[in-house]
Homo-oligomer: A and B are copies of this chain.
Amino acid sequence: MARKTLDAVQLALASIDGFASAQEIHARLRETGHSLGLTTVYRCLRSMTGDHRVDFVRRDDGEGAYRFCGTSHHHHLVCRSCGDTVEVQAEAVESWAQTVGEASNFRDLHHTVELTGICASCSGR
């Protein structure tokens, strides 16, 4: 893989807040002038996750999502009615996840935390 190509993908990924699917990254690349094939985007992402340069998770629908590792780790509180999103701190969860995983002798721990609810304006008052 050409470094030039890897850099383009990394830049696109870094320009997106949070996780993005391969196809979303591909779309962003085309928006910014780069014309890379979807196949190449997949190839780069696989290489980058292998090097732990990007995080990989599965969304609920099974689609894979990628995130540049430099991005600060946080979680979201999403309104099920209007989709409004708030970023939340999760100190308590971070330490809990680590502690619980180690207690079971698991290594290389990751976690997915998704909070949902009905926001103030959607709940009427």
A residues whose Cβ falls under 8 Å from a Cβ of B: 58, 60, 62-64, 77, 79-80, 86, 88-90, 92-93, 96-97, 100-101, 104-120, 123
Contacts and interface: CB of A to CB of B under 8 A. Distances in A.
Given A92-B96, A112-B114, 19 more contacts: A60-B112, A62-B62, A62-B63, A62-B64, A79-B106, A90-B100, A96-B96, A97-B115, A101-B115, A106-B120, A107-B118, A108-B117, A109-B115, A110-B115, A111-B114, A112-B112, A112-B113, A112-B116, A113-B114
Contacts of A62: 58, 62-64
B96 A123 contact: no
19 contacts: A58-B58, A60-B112, A62-B63, A62-B64, A77-B101, A80-B110, A88-B104, A101-B115, A104-B120, A106-B115, A106-B117, A106-B119, A108-B117, A109-B116, A111-B115, A111-B116, A112-B114, A112-B116, A113-B113
Given A111-B114, A113-B112, A119 B93 contact: no
